Amino acid sequence: MRFIAANADVQNGDTLVTSGIDGTYPPGLPVARVSRIERDAAYAFAKITCVPAAGADRHRQVLVLSLDASLSPPPAPAADAPAKSSKPRHARPRRDG
């Protein structure tokens, strides 16, 4: 992890989870586990090493499922729905006698 203050409350074994702030991933999804912390008073930031929670070294593919309807493709038109013409429709003038 980069740019974590040297005095941040991070311990070995802590689990890092998604915050959900940006709306990309739901909150609470485990991402990594803290495996090592190096703090040096000469530096403002700690050097924190993490191990991925997903076991990325053991898998070749990832599937992300979402219940967010805005990420779903639009529904296909029904088979019995009339086809829409690409030509604009204009009203015909009425002729009264």
Q: What is the mean pLDDT of the chain?
A: 79
Q: What is the dihedral of CA 47, 52, 56, 61, to 10 degrees?
A: -120
Which of 40-44, 50-54, 74-78 has the least mean pLDDT?
74-78
Give the pLDDT score at 88.
52
Partners of 47 in the β-ladder: 38
Give the pLDDT score at 58.
80
**All domains in the chain, ordered by first residue:** 4-53 (2.40.10.350)
Euclidean distance between CA atoms 15 and 28, whole angstroms: 10
Euclidean distance between CA atoms 53 and 29, whole angstroms: 10
| Cβ-based neighbour number of residue 48 at 10 Å | 20
Euclidean distance between CA atoms 37 and 50, whole angstroms: 9
Residue 84: is its pLDDT beyond 70? Answer: no
Give the pLDDT score at 74.
62
Euclidean distance between CA atoms 64 and 45, whole angstroms: 33
Residue 89: is its pLDDT beyond 60? Answer: no
